[in-house]
């Protein structure tokens, strides 16, 4: 991110109000509503995070060994040794959305299998890891409500917020996934290959065997290799970058 910087804009005194009472008859904000195409569209907007590229120096600043991560060949025209990257923020919201869909499993036809539960637990871990790392000192107070015999928490906060829309615009402007050479990138000779989790891989094999309509790992690998070779072939023959418009 040497050439184009993400601007962190604060919007002073922006107030987020949490509804004090939410009855069973109230839909609340769109984030609290039952599943619908409109609700899904709202969540999709927040979970759309596109991959972009950062430099080797950026990787070292992040405390990561560049030799262990996927880089884009310099011949692709993006500069010297760039690394595929995405913001964690949209992944966290994606995980929250996954858990939301779990609450409405029948509507979304979520499978009740071990693989899906492993992913759900992964999302719970990702969110608690983020929240326990990014400790905030927001406070809430108590008020009297109606004839309630006990004090009621009043969950209204005055916050300065980072500009989420600015970050999403930046990722849209700098996304590289439309380049099919990047989207279907394959390991090159000498690339570091991490060993898969044996337990998860065995579960995935069992899942493949019980779902013959789903392409196996070997079939998916073959399809991606072919797509990558096709993209490279098109680029080498025409001199044009193979572009495909896509939404996540």
Highest-pLDDT range among 2-11, 26-35, 118-127, 138-147: 118-127
Residue 85 has pLDDT above 50, yes or no: yes
Tell me, what DSSP letter sits at residue 179? Answer: B
The dihedral through the CA atoms of 61, 65, 70, 76 has a sign that is positive
Query: 8: which 2 tokens?
Result: 């962190």
Band the pLDDT of 161: cuts 50, 70, 90: confident
Asked if 80 contacts 3 with a C-beta cutoff of 8 angstroms, the reply is: no
Q: pLDDT confidence of 27, banded at 50, 70, 90?
A: low
Please state, in angstroms and rounded to a whole number, the distance separating the CA atoms of residues 196 and 185.
19
Query: Lowest-confidence range among 60-69, 138-147, 209-218?
Result: 209-218
- φ/ψ of 11, rounded to 5, equals -105, 100
Please say whether the dihedral angle defined by the alpha carbons of residues 122, 123, 125 and 130, taken in this order, is positive or negative.
positive
pLDDT at 17 exceeding the cut of 60:
no
Average pLDDT over residues 104-128: 89
């Amino acid at each position: 991110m040497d050439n184009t910087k993400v601007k962190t804009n604060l919007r002073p005194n922006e107030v987020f109000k949490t509804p004090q009472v939410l009855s069973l008859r109230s839909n609340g904000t769109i984030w609290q509503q039952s599943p619908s195409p409109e609700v899904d569209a709202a969540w999709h907007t927040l979970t759309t995070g596109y991959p972009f590229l950062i430099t080797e120096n950026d990787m070292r600043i992040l405390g990561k060994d560049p030799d262990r991560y996927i880089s884009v060949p310099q011949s692709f025209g993006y500069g010297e040794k760039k690394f595929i990257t995405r913001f964690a923020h949209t992944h966290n919201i994606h995980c929250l959305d996954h858990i939301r869909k779990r609450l409405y499993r029948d509507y979304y036809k979520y499978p009740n299998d071990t693989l899906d539960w492993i992913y759900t637990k992964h999302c719970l871990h990702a969110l608690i890891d983020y929240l326990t790392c990014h400790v905030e000192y927001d406070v809430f107070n108590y008020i009297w409500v109606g004839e309630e015999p006990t004090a009621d928490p009043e969950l209204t906060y005055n916050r300065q917020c980072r500009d989420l829309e600015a970050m999403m615009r930046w990722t849209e402007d700098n996304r590289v996934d439309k380049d099919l050479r990047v989207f279907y990138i394959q390991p090159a000779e000498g690339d570091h290959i991490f060993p898969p989790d044996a337990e998860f891989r065995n579960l995935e094999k069992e899942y493949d065997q019980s779902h013959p309509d789903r392409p196996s790992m070997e079939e998916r690998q073959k399809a991606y290799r072919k797509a990558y070779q096709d993209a490279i072939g098109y680029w080498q023959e025409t001199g044009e970058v193979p572009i495909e418009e896509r939404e996540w």
